[in-house]
Every structure is written in C-alpha cells, then in structure tokens.
Amino acid sequence: ARPFFSVPALPVLSLPVALRIKQLSVTSVQTQSAADARTVLDRMITSVAIDGDQLVLDRLEVTLPDAYVAGDWRMRLATSTLGDARLDWRLPNATGTPQGALTVVGPRDALRITHVLEQPVRAETEGVIALPVNASVDAQLVTHVDTVTFPLQGMDSTLENVIVRVEGAPDAWQLAASGVAGAPEQPDVPVELEAGGSLQSASVSSLRVGTAATGIAVASGNVRWSPRLAGEARVQVDDFALTTLTGVDATLSGILSARSEDVQAGVFSVELDALRGKVLGHAIAGDGSLQRRSAQDYRGALSVSAGSDTLRIVATPDQETASLRAEFVVNALSDYQQRAQGAISGTLTVSGDAT
C-alpha cells in the first residue's frame, strides 16, 4: 500500500564550481483559481551558496500571509541531509501570537529535532523524526510544558509539569502524557493520559485524575471518522472531589457513558449509573438511560436530584411522533449562583423528527 505522508526524494544537485548569490529576493507569489488569486508568499529574502552538493541559505526571511520564519539552513542534497537548520517563527495573526524556535540536524531518515515554544505557553520538544524516501513518516518526540492555565468556574486552574511522549507514524501513533493539576489554594493532583490512533480513528485508553485522598476520576473513549462519524465515551468517578480542579464544593461517585454508531443520523445512547455525592451541600443522586434508535424511536428515562431540586427526562416512542419531555424544579437559584434569585420550574417537550 502507498504510505501516507510519504516524502519524495530531493533532486541531486552538484556544481563543478562554487556559486554564491549575495541576496535572492522573491515577492508576492500567488496561486490563480477560477474565482480569485490567492497570495501564498508575501516575501522571501536570503543569500544562497552552492558548493558541490552543499546548499546554504543564510539570513533567510520568509513572510507568509499568516506566518513569519527567519534563520539559516544548510543541506547536502547528494546524501539527503536536510539539516542543519535553525529557524525562528511566529504567527502574528493567531490568538496569543504563537512563536518559537526550531533546530533540525541530521540525515532525513534520522532528523534530530529540538523545538522551543515561547508563546502562548512555554514548551520544549526533543526527539527524532524519520523522513525516508517514499516511506511513511515516523517520529519519537518528547515535550515538556511548565504550566498551562485554563479557566474553570471563573478561576484559573493550572496544569503543571506536563510531559507528553508521541511515537509512531500518522497511521499508527501512540501518545502518553502526565502532569499535575489544581485550582488555586487546592492541593495538586496527578493527571495521566494514554492515547493512540490512526488516520481513521483516535482513542483514549485511559485518562486518570486524582489520588486516594482526593478521589479518582477515570475516563476512556474513542472517536471514528471513517467511514462515518461515531464514537463512545465512559467516565467513572469514585468519591472524586471536584474542589481540587474547579474550586466548587462537590464530591461525586458514579458512571456516565455515551455511545453513537452514527452521529450524523442522530443515533445515540446515554446511561447514568448510580450517581451519588454532594454538590454545594446538597445530596445528589441520579440514574437512568436514554436512547435514540431512529427518528421516531426515543426510549428510556433519566433523572437527577440535588436536595429537593429535580430534573427528569422521559422519552416516548411513537410511530408517528417521538418525544422527549424534561421536567425540572429548582427551588432556590441562589444555591448555585449567588447573584441569582428566585425559583424556576417547568416542562419542556421536544417532538418530531430531529435528524
């Protein structure tokens, strides 16, 4: 089978005399389609030297519509040696203005990569990438991230000392990651991830958060996008204290699982098993399952209660018109949001073909 992401051979170029171009400048390279012209290169400036089979690009500057690259690149074409290259880059139009520095050294079948991402977070990557001629790309990379900050419940929780290991080819890759996470003024908890995939699917074999002291949350799942979009996921929590990650006073146990064999067709099943615990001082409980087998076939019932507040969803199958009915009661909105006042209750019914 033809490999995906295969790399063609470079042309073998060797001159009997040394050649040096003090400055080579290329501006405004465009592609033309029936609709319009698209700029793919705004500007490139470099000095060029060719001595035998060695090609040297010094003081290279490349300006693209959404990126900027600058640095030096030396390669030997006869031996397919792509490095050494040292390049700084930035994406001025992207959120957070990502920027970093890349160093590549070695032959194409064993390129040693060092990359430092400076913005929006600092991350250091090292490893080896193989670009064999007419064969699939293969990689072994390790990335270390100092701190990632993400908003949860109005506060900045953090993920620290993250180590990510990626290896394999695009059609058979594996990923492992570890780190610690926590909300402000809360103890850090370990986070471990194992995943893998191919060009048609991706799976998380295990995402584990917590310790025996904080409770443990474990998630797994997979998604497939060929021949159609489908997937499943499962989350199990055992006396897990959400306070450690979100700052919300909540401890939960239970299992939530979801599955769909055809997302586009709207076919799905959801199951909540033995949800128990406390949220903001209210005892919480939940059980049930819901299914949608076809446009007119909804089945099951699911209910969740927190103290005297309740949510119940009931599915009614019907050959003509299927329906979902949700009944909810919240006696005091201020229990969940300090600025909210009053109570709310009602019934919401959804019927018809929701494809």
Per-residue pLDDT reduced to its tens digit, 252-304: 999 999 999 999 888 899 999 999 999 888 899 999 999 988 767 888 999 99
pLDDT tens sequence across 212-266: 889 999 999 999 998 899 999 999 999 999 888 887 889 999 999 999 999 988 8
Any idea what the Cα angle at residue 65 is, between residues 84 and 129, rounded to 5°? 30
- Please report the pLDDT score of residue 3 as a whole number: 47
SS3 310: strand
Nearest Cα neighbor of 78 from 48, 106, 55, 58 is 55
User: Cα separation of 354 and 53, whole Å?
Assistant: 64
Confidence of residue 177 (pLDDT cuts 50, 70, 90): very high
The string of pLDDT tens digits covering residues 115-163 is 999 988 899 999 999 877 666 788 999 999 988 887 766 567 788 889 9
Side chain identity at residue 146, one-letter code: D
For the full predicted model, state whether its pTM sits above 0.85: no
Measuring CA to CA, which residue among 87, 134, 80, 68 is closest to residue 110?
Answer: 80
Residue 206 CA to its chain's centroid (Å): 15
pLDDT at residue 134, rounded to an integer:
62
Q: Cis omega (within 30 of 0) on the bond before 132?
A: no
Neighbours of 32 (CB within 10 A): 8
Does the pLDDT of residue 345 top 60, yes or no? yes
Cα separation, 58 vs 191, in Å, equals 44
